[in-house]
Amino acid sequence: MYRTHHCGELNTKHIGTAVTLSGWVQKNRDKGSVIWIDLRDRYGITQLIFDEARTSETLMPLAKTLGREFVIQATGTVIERSSKNPNISTGDIEILVTDLKCLNQSKTPPFTIEDDTDGGDTLRMQYRYLDIRRNPIKNNLIFRHRIAQLVRNYLSEQHFIEVETPVLIKSTPEGARDFVVPSRMNPGQFYALPQSPQTFKQLLMVGGMDRYFQIVKCFRDEDLRADRQPEFTQIDCEMAFVEQEDILETFEGLTRHVIATVTGNDPGVFPRMTYDDAMKRFGNDKPDIRFGMAFGELNAVTQQKDFQVFNQSELVVGIAVPKANELTRKDIDQLTDWVKRPQIGASGMVYVRCLEDGSFKSSVDKFYDQDDFKAWAKITGASAGDLILVLSGDTQKVRPQMSALRMEMAERLGLRDPKVFAPLWVVDFPLLEWDEASERYHAMHHPFTAPKPEHMALLHTNPSAVNANAYDLVLNGNEIGGGSIRIHDKTTQSQMFDLLGFTPEEAKSQFGFLMNAFEFGAPPHGGIAFGLDRLVAILGGQETIREFIAFPKNNTGRDIMIDAPSAIDQNQLNELYLNLKTIE
């Protein structure tokens, strides 16, 4: 038997007990006549003691040779420590070792296995198995497991069935490129890895499964933006015989249960906001509502004066930054430079100081009087001590610029508290978006999303005006889930493919299976998928999903530990008909 207890378990109640522990050497403090070893396993750290007076002579030399990360087994008696460590659960005791075995040696690790490590990101990823020994990563993985478990239990209790869907499939468009896998048995043909199990979960509804979920890997070959992974995990769900309201209620229940269990605080009823409202008030379809600073549109009160910049703008929009009148002129100049950086791209910024005596001072005093500023303050909700910041230009550009500025101000003011959780449903997304580059409509969610029934008539006359029963769940400014009510009849699905620029032949060859299924009694259905990695990271109070994935890829999509992707040899290429010469 390697161990009788683990390293986080023993306390004063065990004094006098004979125990055997196994684990890794965290630290070896050799004081000559006394040696202390901190022994670590997943559960904690227990101190081992060897001293000349009480330990058999043969053990002392062996104990001295044990370096960091050696794997050892120690047997001994639990005794009370003379100097206690209140910071750890085993801090009142130590083990007076009577038997010791080195189970395996270790090279000196390339970084310290401590909560605060000296290892950089690359080194930590290259030796991820060592990184996982550290508390922060280990705890994140345990936390992730806990959340996955909560989700599984909750959904199972609600009669959802977890069904596995295939990984070698045909393209399921979710707006990214497919990863493809060549088929050896079918020369020149390829599988696609699922961007999501979307079509399969719909087929499960046609199959009468009624309530499905799956914690599942999805694959999207996108240019990797910061903190995206080419493979990621979704909590994928679908229900039959439901309307949007049923879905929102069910998954609000799930999310509330998870947040309440993890944080101890019930977030209450989730507010809802339409997509149009979110864009108008926050310039963004995933607003962070932990703080205010909603946009105030100022066109009506700014455009009748001589300030040409505003007169020529499609949108003049301001936010009231709380208590920011404290900012110096220099601070504001720096902020102006910040919004003018190419990443943000504003052409300039106007400010109004709301002074304590109720008057205003601004960078455009020449053009506007105190009454004007009073109107601006009213619209933006500014009070004395606040600073109104105003941007202007084309609506499509100004909104994201102002959204970035709002987030930046919130960050600087410490309003993005990771311990506060503010969920929000964003509903009534447009069905389609016009893509200038390809001069085509794209599905805003995916091609299986149903138009709102009352907008069906607009599908051919004014497609841009059609809204969908599509919804996103937003948490602290992050989209953590999204879904829709689906099309469940062949005619509408064909119309949709047509709108998206598929020829009937293309639609048939790519999605014939789904349209066929729709001819065999497909029930009304809808669903949602949550990004598990992000959900876990946010609930864990962090922004980086990588820290919550056991073996993540770096930001060029590489696994630098196993060195993938990598070249394959010529024989393998030949076998897969990937060698052009072979195909000829």
CB of residue 344 to ligand ASP, shortest distance in Å:
28
Residue labelled with tokens 């989730």: 270
Measured from the CB atom, is 213 or 310 closer to ligand ASP?
A: 213
Minimum distance between the CB of residue 99 and ligand ASP, rounded to whole angstroms? 55
Diameter of the chain measured on Cα atoms: 94
Q: How many CB atoms lie within 10 A of CB 11?
A: 13
User: What is the contact surface with ligand ASP in residues (CB under 6 A)?
Assistant: 174, 196, 198, 482-484, 527-529
Nearer of residues 322 and 483 to ligand ASP, judged by Cβ? 483
Query: Quick one: 311 or 492, whose CB is closer to ligand ASP?
Result: 492
Q: What separation in angstroms does the CA of 4 have from each of 21, 75, 98, 105, 348?
A: 6, 9, 15, 22, 68
Tell me whether residue 401 or residue 469 sits nearer to ligand ASP (CB atom): 469
Q: Which is nearer to ligand ASP, 119 or 526 (CB)?
A: 526
Nearest-approach distance from CB 148 to ligand ASP, in angstroms: 18
CB 27 within 8 Å of CB 37: yes
For ligand ASP, the closer CB: 17 or 510: 510
- Which of 30, 479 has the CB closer to ligand ASP? 479
Work out how close the CB of 445 gets to ligand ASP at its nearest, in angstroms, rounded to a whole number. Answer: 6
CA distance 468 to 496: 12
Using the structure block, give the residue that is written with the tokens 């997509």: 275
- How many Cβ atoms from other residues are within 10 Å of residue 116's Cβ? 7
* Distance from C-alpha of 312 to C-alpha of 534, rounded to nearest angstrom: 41
Q: What are phi and psi of 19, to 5 degrees?
A: -135, 160
What's the alpha-carbon Rg for the chain, to the nearest Å? 30
318 or 527: CB nearest ligand ASP: 527
Nearest to 109 by CA among 61, 153, 71: 71
Residue 146 vs 170, nearer CB to ligand ASP: 170
CB of 239 to ligand ASP, least distance (A): 10
In angstroms, give the least distance from the CB of 546 to ligand ASP.
Answer: 20
d(CA 148, CA 262): 12
For residue 205, the surrounding DSSP H or E stretch is: helix 198-206
Q: How far is the CB of 201 from ligand ASP (least distance, A)?
A: 7
Q: Are 204 and 238 in contact (CB under 8 A)?
A: yes
Residue with tokens 């004063």: 12
Whole-angstrom distance between the N-terminal and C-terminal Cα of the chain? 62
Please state the closest distance from residue 197 (CB atom) to ligand ASP, in A: 7
Q: How far is the CB of 310 from ligand ASP (least distance, A)?
A: 39
Minimum Å gap between C-beta 150 and ligand ASP is 20
Beta-carbon contacts of 26 under 8 Å, excluding residues fewer than 6 positions away, are: 38, 39, 40, 45, 68, 113
> 327 vs 450, which CB is nearer to ligand ASP?
450
Cis before 342 (ω within 30): no
User: Alpha-carbon distance 259 to 474, whole Å?
Assistant: 13
CA distance 381 to 479: 27
Burial (CB count <10 Å: 0-12, 13-18, 19+), residue 457: exposed
